Chain A
Amino acid sequence: MRTSLNGSRSEPGAVAYARATVDLASRDVRIEDVPCRNLEDVLGGFGRSFQILAERTITHAFTPENPLIVNTGVLTASNVTTGLRTYFSAYSPLKVSNKGLPAAMWSAGSCKFGPKLKWTGLDEVILEGRADAPVYLVIRHSEQGPQISFEPADDLLGLTCHEKIMWLKNRYADAHFAAIGPAGEHYEDCYMASVALSTENQLRSGDDKCRWAGRGGMGAIMGYKRVLAIVAQAPDKIAKLKPEIRDINKAVTSGPGSRKFREKDKGGLGGTWSNYEPLEKFHFVPQNNFRPAGDGKPELMFRDNVQPDFFVKAESCFRCGINCHKNVYEKNADGTRGAFLAKFDYEPVNLLSTNLGMHDPRKAAALIALVDRLGMDNISLGTTISYVMDYNERHPDAPILNGATFGDFDKARELVEGAGTGRFPEVGRGVKRLSESLGETGYAMHCKGLEFPAYQPDTNPGYPWAIAGGHMSMATYMAVALEGNTSLDYWATLITTRGLLFVRDDLLGLCKFAGVTHDHVVEALMQEAGIEVTSAELLAAVRRAFMRALWLERKQGYDRSDYTLPSEVFDRPNPNLGVPPFVTREFFSQLSDRVWAVFDPEIEEIARA
Chain B
Amino acid sequence: MPRIRFTNLFAERIGGVSSVDVHAATVDSALRALTDRHPSLMPLVWKDGALNPVMVLFLNDRQLPAEEIGAPVGPGDEIDIVSALEGG
- Show the binding face of A for B, using Cβ within 8 Å: 254-257, 259-261, 264, 267, 269, 271-272, 274-275, 277-279, 281, 324, 345-347, 453-455, 471-472, 477-478, 481-485, 498, 501, 512-513, 515, 517-519, 535
Contact B88 A345 (CB under 8 A): yes
Report if A272-B88 is in contact (Cβ < 8 Å); known contacts: A256-B80, A481-B54, A517-B11.
yes
Contacts of A347 in B (CB 8 A): 88
Distance of A455 Cα from B86 Cα, bound (Å): 11
Q: Which of A257, A278, A324, A453 is the one whose CB lies under 8 Å from B85? A: A278
Q: Is B61 an interface residue (CB 8 A)?
A: yes
- Show the binding face of B for A, using Cβ within 8 Å: 5-9, 11-13, 16, 18, 43-44, 47, 52-54, 56, 58, 61-63, 80-88
Contact A269 B56 (CB under 8 A): yes
Contacts of A501 in B (CB 8 A): 12
Q: Which of B52, B80, B83, B87 is the one whose CB lies under 8 Å from A272? A: B87
Distance of A515 Cα from B85 Cα, bound (Å): 13
Contact B81 A256 (CB under 8 A): yes
Contact A260 B88 (CB under 8 A): no
Report if A484-B43 is in contact (Cβ < 8 Å); known contacts: A256-B81, A259-B80, A264-B63.
yes
Report if A535-B85 is in contact (Cβ < 8 Å); known contacts: A255-B5, A515-B8.
no
Min CB gap B48→A, angstroms? 10
Q: Which residue of A lies closest to B18 (CB)?
A: A517
Contact B58 A482 (CB under 8 A): no
Distance of A502 Cα from B6 Cα, bound (Å): 17
Min CB gap B23→A, angstroms? 21
Contacts of B5 in A (CB 8 A): 255-256
Residue pairs across A and B with Cβ atoms less than 8 A apart, 15 shown, are A256-B6, A260-B84, A261-B86, A264-B63, A267-B58, A272-B87, A272-B88, A281-B54, A324-B87, A346-B87, A471-B88, A478-B85, A481-B54, A517-B8, A518-B11
Min CB gap A302→B, angstroms? 13
Min CB gap A84→B, angstroms? 16
Contacts of B6 in A (CB 8 A): 256
Contact A256 B88 (CB under 8 A): no
Distance of A275 Cα from B54 Cα, bound (Å): 10
Min CB gap A51→B, angstroms? 26
Min CB gap A463→B, angstroms? 13
Contact A481 B7 (CB under 8 A): no
Report if A260-B54 is in contact (Cβ < 8 Å); known contacts: A347-B88, A515-B7.
no
Q: Which residue of A lies closest to B16 (CB)?
A: A518
Contact B85 A481 (CB under 8 A): yes
Distance of A274 Cα from B87 Cα, bound (Å): 10
Q: Which residue of B lies closest to A379 (CB)?
A: B88
Contact A259 B54 (CB under 8 A): no
Contacts of B87 in A (CB 8 A): 260-261, 271-272, 275, 324, 345-346, 512-513
Distance of A272 Cα from B88 Cα, bound (Å): 6
Q: Which residue of B lies closest to A518 (CB)?
A: B16
Q: Which of B11, B80, B85 is the one whose CB lies under 8 Å from A482? A: B85
Q: Which residue of B lies closest to A273 (CB)?
A: B87
Report if A519-B18 is in contact (Cβ < 8 Å); known contacts: A256-B6, A259-B80.
yes
Contact B44 A482 (CB under 8 A): yes
Q: Which of B12, B18, B47, B80 is the one whose CB lies under 8 Å from A498? A: B12
If A254-B61, A272-B86 are given as contacts, then 11 extra A-B residue pairs at C-beta distance below 8 Å, sorted by A number, are A256-B7, A259-B82, A261-B87, A269-B82, A278-B84, A281-B53, A347-B88, A472-B88, A478-B83, A481-B85, A518-B11
